[in-house]
Amino acid sequence: MNSNKPSNRLLEANAKYNEKFGDRKPGNYKWIALSNTTLGVLMASITGNIMLISLPAIFRGVNVDPLSTSGANYMLWMLMGFNVVTATLLVTFGRLSDMYGRVKLYNLGFAVFTIASIALFFTPSNVVYMIVMRMVQGIGAGFLFSNSMAIITDAFGPKERGMAMGLNQISSVGGNLIGLILGGLLSAIDWRLVFLVNVPVGLFGTVWAYLKLKEQTQPDKSKKIDWWGNITFAAGLVLILIAFTIGIMPTKTSVMGWGSFKLWTLMIPGIILMIAFVFIEMRVQSPMFHLQLFKIRAFAAGNISLFLSSIARGGLNFILIIWLQGIWLPLHGYNFEQTPLWAGIYMFPMMAGFFIMGPLCGKLSDRYGAREFATGGMALSTIGFVLLNFLPVNFDYIWLFFILILLGLGMGMFAAPNTSAVMNSVPAEFRGVASGMRSTFQNTGTSLSMAFYFTIIIAGLSTKLPATLNAGLMHAGVPAKIAQKISEMPPTSALFAAFLGYNPMQQMVPASIMHTLPKATQTLLVSKTFFPNIIAPAVMSSLQLAFWISAAISLIAAVVSLFRGKQFIYEDK
């Protein structure tokens, strides 16, 4: 990252491209492009997070026990399968879009996503089928994410892109948080509505995109598809992400799977394939992952800081929902069945903070450059993570409210200016692949963040929960032998129970034993406060460790962002 200018090869490619094609930006077209891509990103983002809240209702609807080992696996893939597929395909789709047309493949993404949503609504009560259809949704989302920023960059001039991307990214981050609320509202009525909500938007968006979006740059079909690069990248990333999911699941001999032979038979080949991918991309004539773009300081710094920020905050919604659903809301009198909806509502301040800063800082970055805003945004995120460590288990919500506002403001300050700087820094002919690379860093970071948070929390629960649970049960009057057996529950079961809004005591204490206990003991075990108070010490120590690590990663992202150099923009001819 020691140069703020691109290589001569990229400069020559850009000059030749603009001389031949130029950029065509009709006055009204840019607003059509912005509104349609914003709708597409909103739809895909809502889908990414709506599962976080609606899984309890879905699992009840398809008769899956979330506390079983198979239920835990299903839950992980319902949550992460969408992101895994999207992350592995984004760069490939970006390259294909440069070759065959960004609008054409964006339209295809809208259609694929909509068809998969319809298939999910009419799904049989089969969780494996649902996971597969969620992955098909991820394919559609891959086309949408990889092309939306490129289409906006094509449609808007370089001095307007920050504002446009700020508005577009409101839909991305806002969609994540709206999905939390919608998931709670719709799943309370009928879990199938969680999938139906995308269908009207998808049908309208597909037709609208087909009729109104036009190619603003000429596709270059002379380029070849980098098959070896595509295969090694997709296979390597999938193997690594699957290995991470195995690592956080219990085995027959351990509470976590990081020492299992199966994990390393996937992890090691995955790492080898990713190393091979880098060597392949340095040698092929038309690479799918254009490593030469990293010679542009603004592009390299923007993507590295984006990747780090995604690792730091990609699992933030998940970890805060565990805290709210599993501990704070029950302690404040909410029934376990109500906690998913209210967790989404209480997360709203973060969305409000992003709504304020996203478009504002995007517009200001068009004039003053991205460095100060993006760096300041990551600095605010660092402060937000640090402050989370000082909240007690049973906090006063006003303090969480202000911290969520602060985190949202930081996300808004970083997102649009950083994206605008990345997309402005590349020649027009590379916008599709650059957009795919940027989205890949973001989605891969988010998937790794989920695995990272899962690992830290389960590791903490495995060391502290058994003794705490055993002592609590015996103090409540449960026989020592039964208390010991229950305390040996896998930490994943306790974590998922908290996450899904279940009170596991109703399932883990055998009915034959429960009926023999005094009425006062029965009432205590199934109360709103017994399980939250039992798991709180173990969960909080893990959460605090995760928050400190996220604060450190956010600080590193701020430093990387600071060294992006002065504003550099390819001027369109």
Cα separation, 77 vs 137, in Å, equals 13
Average the pLDDT over 402-406 and give the result. Answer: 94
Nearest-CA neighbor of 152 among 480, 423, 334, 520? Answer: 423
Average the pLDDT over 183-205 and give the result. Answer: 83
Nearest-CA neighbor of 222 among 26, 429, 360, 24? Answer: 429
Share the mean pLDDT of the chain: 80
Cα separation, 336 vs 440, in Å, equals 36
Here the tokens at position 6 are 């691109």
Cα separation, 121 vs 46, in Å, equals 16
Cβ neighbours around 433 below 10 Å, total: 29
Evaluate whether 415 touches 377 at the Cβ level (below 8 Å). Answer: yes
> Does position 245 have pLDDT exceeding 60, yes or no?
yes
Cβ neighbours around 422 below 10 Å, total: 30
Here the tokens at position 230 are 């595509």
Cα dihedral value 517, 520, 523, 524, nearest 10: -100
Which residue reads 């923007």 in tokens?
302
Question: Looking at the chain, how many residues does it have?
Answer: 573
Here the tokens at position 80 are 């992460």
Cα separation, 86 vs 99, in Å, equals 20
Residue 399 pLDDT: 95
Cα separation, 15 vs 557, in Å, equals 33
DSSP per residue, 227-296 = HHHHHHHHHHHHHHHHHHHHHTS--SS-SSSTT-HHHHHHHHHHHHHHHHHHHHHTTSSS-SS-GGGGGS
Evaluate whether 355 touches 172 at the Cβ level (below 8 Å). Answer: no
Residue 214 pLDDT: 83
pLDDT in tens, 136-182: 988 988 888 878 877 887 888 777 777 777 777 777 766 776 777 78
Cα separation, 362 vs 176, in Å, equals 19
Q: Tell me the domain boundaries of the chain.
A: 20-225+286-460+538-562, 226-285
pLDDT in tens, 346-399: 888 888 888 888 778 877 887 888 888 999 999 999 999 999 999 998 899 999
DSSP 346: H
Cα separation, 424 vs 465, in Å, equals 50
The count of C-alpha atoms lying within 13 angstroms of the C-alpha of 432, restricted to the half-sphere facing its C-beta, is 27
Residue 376 pLDDT: 93
Q: Looking at this protein, which amino acid is placed at residue 480?
A: A
Q: Which CATH number fits domain 20-225+286-460+538-562: 1.20.1250.20, 3.40.50.2300, 3.30.70.1380, 1.10.3720.10?
A: 1.20.1250.20
Residue 313 pLDDT: 85
Evaluate whether 557 touches 308 at the Cβ level (below 8 Å). Answer: yes
Evaluate whether 23 touches 571 at the Cβ level (below 8 Å). Answer: no
Which residue reads 């120590």 in tokens?
541
Residue 410 pLDDT: 92
> Does position 228 have pLDDT exceeding 90, yes or no?
no
pLDDT band at 268; cut points 50, 70, 90? very high
Here the tokens at position 67 are 């506390």
